Structure formats: structure tokens, C-alpha cells
Amino acid sequence: MLELSIEDPDRLVKVAHALSTHTRIGIIRLLLSKPNVNIIEIAEALDIPVSTAATNVKVLEEAELILTELQPATRGAMKVCSRNFDDVRMILNPIAFYHNTSKLVEVEMPIGHFIQFDIQPTCGMANSAGMLFAEDDPDNFYHPDSRSAEIIWLRKGWVEYRFPKKLPQGAKVTSLEFSLELCSEAPNYNNDWPSEITAWINGKEIGSWISPGDFGDHRGKLNPAWWNDNSTQHGLLKTWGVDEGRSTIDNERCSSVTLEDLDLQDKPYISFRIGLRPDAKHQGGMNLFGKGFGDYPQGIVMRLQHD
């Protein structure tokens, strides 16, 4: 998700301008059905001159709404376009959005700091220095070096984390969310490889998101130099949230689970599990990105709002 704020007006204006014409909206819509298209294909699909397509692609690229990559063509190279975000959030009143920043608790958990797991191959993990262990041996996840992992992949199963619940005496949680970068897990990579990824909080299933693929359309912005170009490159930033009335994924309702259902008062921590249900229709695995891989410099971020 791309988050914009009125506190960064230049960025907000650039993105708003990029979204202000039917032609550029048409390009983004085209990239929903065709994840990778070149300038000529865009011009043909929208029935516009190639020069017009190129100009509008440049505007979207400068706003970081799409990504472009030069690929070999019959004569020279061609610019191939792909989408960068599924959602845009515009915060026009930060005080109202965050309610009261003094009542916001934020904790970032490194992805290697899981406390439980149930994993089946293919699986593995790496950090910025290299592969941590030989691939496809789940027993390696018990090794203390796993705490340094900055990318984790698995074909089946889940990983679970425990976040501290630090609240003032008598305070009541009013909303809770977890954000993280993730995608499917395919051999090498495959942009069209759906996987149904589910989140649980305190043992309650919150909702499932179908990842469209294991993305390799552009090199991850944070990936270390040693990481192979033919491997998974990046994910999408997704947010599971729960408040007093519903559960959401990227602010879209996904279930009727509420804060009351989570029994937050029973333990001094909040557990967050992410993975694949055994009965999921799309068993496409999962890649989980930390600070040193993918496109977003973060681990798993918990934001807890209280009264």
C-alpha cells in the first residue's frame, strides 16, 4: 500500500497529478489484467499514439505508481511496465487518522524472531550476508542464527510471533493492525502464482489474502548484491487490522472478528501468525520479507491504538 500524507505535500501532489487523467487510469487498469506490458502494447490497448503512451507512463513512473524495466527486444530494448501498488491511502488529517499519536503503540518485529512454526519444504531463509542454511530442511528454523533472517520462504505452513502489549494502566485497545511485505513462493519466481495467505491474531483467524504471484518483475530495491536475479525479488505491503466492529485487509472488510473476540486481556503479549491454511484453495506458498530484502525497509509492524 502507498501511504500519502498532507504532511508531505509534494509527494501527495505528484501522485494526485498522476491519477488525474483517464489515460493514466486506463494504463493502471490495463496492468491489473496484464501484469507486464510494453509501451506499444499500452498504445494499442488504449488506442492512443505511442508517444502519448510513453509520456503518460513516464508520469506514472515518476510518481512510483508503476515500475519500468528495459528488456531486450528484436531491435534494441523495450520498456516493460508493471504496477507497483495495489492500494493508495491518502491521509488528509493526520491527527484524525491517528486519533492521538500519544495513544499509538508501534512495535516492529524482525521476521527472524518467530517463536513457533510449522513449515514444510520448499523452505529456507537468508540475510544480507548470504544463505543461512541449506534449503528445504525445516529443522534449521530451530537454529539461533535464524533470528538474523531477512527473507523467509515456505511452501506450506506458518510462522508465529509474539508482540509485547505495553499499555498504560486501565487503557483499552481501540484498534490493532499488523503490516508486512509478502508474496507467494514459486520455483525461482512466477508473477502468476496465486497463494491464499491467512493471518491469525491470538489464535483467531482474521482473514485471507490471495497473493497474485511470486514477484520477479523488477529487482527488489533492498536486495543485497549477492541475491540472484532469477529468484523472488519483492512482495506487496499488506495490512491486517481489527477494531471494535470488524476485521480488515488494507482497510477492506474481510471478516466479522472484533477486538472483543481476541481476548487481549488474557496474556501479556499479542500473538500474530501468518501462513497457509491446510485447506486453502490456492497452495502457492509464502515469502516473507524483512528490512534487508524486497521493496519496503521494515519487518512486521504492529500498531496498537488505545483510548
pLDDT tens, position by position, 57-66? 999 999 999 9
Instruction: Specify the pLDDT at position 96.
Output: 55
Residues 133 and 245 placed together within one structural domain of the fold: yes
Residues 116 and 254 placed together within one structural domain of the fold: yes
189 is a domain residue:
yes
Percent of the chain with pLDDT over 90: 78
Phi and psi torsions of 86, nearest 5°: -95, -25
Residues 158 and 48 placed together within one structural domain of the fold: no
Instruction: Specify the pLDDT at position 5.
Output: 81
Host domain of residue 286: 98-306
Residues 69 and 200 placed together within one structural domain of the fold: no
Please state, as a whole number, how many other Cβ atoms lie within 10 Å of the Cβ of residue 125: 24
Instruction: Specify the pLDDT at position 63.
Output: 93
Residues 78 and 148 placed together within one structural domain of the fold: no
30 is a domain residue:
yes
Q: Check whether 127 has a pLDDT greater than 60.
A: yes
Q: Which stretches of the chain are DSSP H helices?
A: 9-18, 22-33, 39-46, 50-62, 94-97
126 is a domain residue:
yes
102 falls in which pLDDT band (50, 70, 90)? low
Instruction: Specify the pLDDT at position 76.
Output: 77
Residue-wise pLDDT tens digits, 71-80: 887 777 888 9
Instruction: Report the distance separating Cα 123 and Cα 185, nearest Å.
Output: 9
Query: Are 220 and 294 spatial neighbours (Cβ–Cβ below 8 Å)?
Result: yes
Average pLDDT over all residues of the chain: 92
Instruction: Specify the pLDDT at position 304.
Output: 93
Residue-wise pLDDT tens digits, 21-36: 999 999 999 998 888 8
Average pLDDT estimate for 171-196: 95
Residues 152 and 288 placed together within one structural domain of the fold: yes
CATH code of the domain covering residue 35 = 1.10.10.10
Instruction: Give, as one character, the DSSP assignment of residue 230.
Output: T
Domain termination site, one of 55, 83, 111: 83
Q: Check whether 282 has a pLDDT greater than 90.
A: yes
Residues 122 and 246 placed together within one structural domain of the fold: yes
Instruction: Specify the pLDDT at position 120.
Output: 93
Query: Are 289 and 110 spatial neighbours (Cβ–Cβ below 8 Å)?
Result: no
Domain termination site, one of 83, 114, 132: 83
236 falls in which pLDDT band (50, 70, 90)? very high
Instruction: Specify the pLDDT at position 39.
Output: 94
Q: Check whether 204 has a pLDDT greater than 90.
A: yes
Query: Are 137 and 120 spatial neighbours (Cβ–Cβ below 8 Å)?
Result: no
Query: Are 162 and 115 spatial neighbours (Cβ–Cβ below 8 Å)?
Result: yes
Residue-wise pLDDT tens digits, 1-58: 788 888 788 889 999 999 999 999 999 999 988 888 999 999 999 999 999 999 999 9
Give the residue among 166, 161, 165, 235 at the shortest CA–CA distance from 199.
Answer: 161
Residues 79 and 105 placed together within one structural domain of the fold: no
Residue-wise pLDDT tens digits, 251-265: 889 999 999 999 998
Give the residue among 186, 182, 177, 109 at the shortest CA–CA distance from 151.
Answer: 182
Give 53-56 contacts, CB < 8 A, sequence gap 24+. Answer: 53/27, 54/79, 56/21, 56/23, 56/24, 56/27
Residues 256 and 211 placed together within one structural domain of the fold: yes
Where are the strands (E) in 110-203, listed by range?
116-127, 130-131, 151-164, 173-183, 195-201
Instruction: Specify the pLDDT at position 107.
Output: 95
Percent of the chain with pLDDT over 70: 97
Q: How many domains is the chain built from? A: 2
Residue-wise pLDDT tens digits, 206-234: 999 999 999 998 999 999 999 999 999 99
Q: What is the DSSP string of 141-152?
A: GGSGGGGG-SEE
